[in-house]
Amino acid sequence: MSERLKYDYLVIEGNIGTGKTSLATRIAEQFQARIVLERFADNPFLPKFYENSSRYAFPLELSFLADRYQQLNDEVMPQELFRQQTVADYVLSKSLIFASITLKEDEFQLYQRLFHIINPHLPKPDLLVYLHKDVPKLKENIRNRGRDYEQNIQDDYLGNLEKGYWDFFKQQEGLRIVVLDTNEVDFVHNMNDYNRILEILQQDFPVGLHRILPKG
């Protein structure tokens, strides 16, 4: 295994409960890369949103957008990437994906304006990896990790997020995007599965969308 990642700025994305944070952390530790993890636990609106989504959706999405931008602006600017490779468990565009599902139309139009003002100022990932899992497996993972405020997440919400990510991928130009089907993959407990994913991520991908079954 190479001592360096193929891509200096690697993003591991996925739906709620895919294990993106676990995978990003493990890769960063192995390659001694900087790790950038979303600070969702610090957001005071998140538990309130899951209890009353219509009331708290707009402040939740605005606070996430501000915090994500601030963190990425501080930690993933070009001069930082030059010094040390970086692995993150989110891309700023996830803000737009979530907001498109949770916000009312007039709120979303305003949100889009704000997003498109700040997004061009951040570097784009050299490789964006999306971990796909079917909704029943997502729900199983959500139950197992035991965050109280997540236990009432609805199947439709997870399904809409999945669709939102795919719509986003289809609109992208100039990005390398790899979708990994991880329904039958356990990269947390199975070293062979983890190593197989690493082998994939060290490949030379052209710009565009690529879908891969790691055990295939």
Give the pLDDT score at 10.
Answer: 97
Q: What's the pLDDT tens digit per position in 148-183?
A: 878 888 999 999 999 999 999 999 989 999 999 999
Instruction: Work out the average pLDDT over 39-64.
Output: 87
Instruction: Work out the average pLDDT over 6-16.
Output: 96
Alpha helices in 150-215 (DSSP H): 155-171, 191-201
| Euclidean distance between CA atoms 148 and 128, whole angstroms | 29
Domain boundaries, the chain: 9-212
Q: What's the pLDDT tens digit per position in 127-142?
A: 999 999 999 999 999 9
Indicate the pTM of the whole model.
Answer: 0.92
Instruction: Work out the average pLDDT over 91-108.
Output: 95
pLDDT band at 80 (very low <50, low <70, confident <90, very high): low
Give domain 9-212's CATH architecture.
3-Layer(aba) Sandwich (3.40)
Q: Mark 53-67 as b/e (b = at least 16 C-beta within 10 Å).
A: eeebbbebbbbbbeb
Mention every residue, 6+ apart, whose C-beta is less than 8 A from residue 33. Answer: 5, 10, 27, 84, 85, 86, 87
181 counts as catalytic: no
pLDDT band at 81 (very low <50, low <70, confident <90, very high): low
Q: Is the pLDDT of residue 118 over 70?
A: yes
Give the pLDDT score at 213.
Answer: 87
Collapsing DSSP to helix, strand or coil, 215 comes out as: coil
Instruction: Work out the average pLDDT over 174-195.
Output: 95
Alpha helices in 172-216 (DSSP H): 191-201
Give the pLDDT score at 49.
Answer: 87
The count of other CB atoms within 10 Å of the CB of residue 85 is: 20
* Inter-residue contact 167 to 96 (CB < 8 Å): no
* Inter-residue contact 15 to 165 (CB < 8 Å): yes
Instruction: Work out the average pLDDT over 46-62.
Output: 90
| Euclidean distance between CA atoms 21 and 49, whole angstroms | 22
Q: Which of 67, 89, 126, 186 is catalytic?
A: 89
Share of the chain above pLDDT 90, in %: 79
